[in-house]
Amino acid sequence: DEETKERFLPHVVEPSAGCDRTVLALICEAFDEEVLTDEKGKEDVRTVLRFVPRMAPIKVGIFPLLKKNDAQVLIARSIQKQLQPWMNVFYDDGGAVGRRYRRQDEIGTPFCITVDFDTLGENGDALKDTVTIRHRDSMEQERLPVAALLAWLLERVR
């Protein structure tokens, strides 16, 4: 203090915790660069935001295998309409399906649904009305009936 010539240490702490810092911390924790090696030995870096599914801003990416196949597009759009009231979904038909998967990996989408020829029953009736679901973290794929999608997804994203 200038007047009394006393020295003192302030004992007031002003912590600051805002939304910006929380979001940045979540993004930093989820960010991952994974080095993949193909069968020829070529390395590729896969960028992934590994959000816990309930924290991911977009829960599901929906793709027709071919955007020129009207039947695939129609089914993919109907799945989009079915899921949209329950969660944020993203429809994408641009480019190769592998690139679409990578784009969704980069924004943290935990699941991708692909409507393909099996969905239409073109390779036999056993897989008709089923879709491929790809898991972001493991890149594993499984087939599920379209009718079971909503319940399956809600169980995993809530």
Evaluate whether residue 66 is within a structural domain. Answer: yes
| 17 assigned to some structural domain | no
Q: Establish if 42 belongs to a structural domain.
A: no
Q: In this structure, are residues 142 and 155 in contact, taking their beta carbons and an 8 Å threshold? A: no
| Model pLDDT, residue 136 | 98
pLDDT tens-digit series, residues 56-67: 999 999 999 999
Number of separate domains in the chain: 1
Domain limits for position 70:
54-157
Domain of 124, CATH number, reads: 3.40.50.800
| CA 138 centroid distance within chain | 12
pLDDT tens digits, residue range 61-85? 999 999 999 999 999 999 999 999 9
Amino acid at 96: A
Q: What is the pLDDT of residue 33?
A: 97
Query: What does the alpha-carbon distance between residue 6 and residue 146 come to, in Å, rounded to a whole number?
Result: 76
Q: What is the DSSP track for the chain?
A: -TTT--------------HHHHHHHHHHHHEEEEEEE-TTS-EEEEEEE---TTT-S--EEEEES-TT-HHHHHHHHHHHHHHTTTS-EEE--SS-HHHHHHHHHHHT--EEEEE-HHHHTTT-GGGTTEEEEEETTT--EEEEEGGGHHHHHHHHH-
pLDDT at 8 > cutoff 90: no
- Does 153 fall in a domain? yes
Residue 26 lies inside a defined structural domain of this protein: no
Residue 3 has pLDDT above 80, yes or no: yes
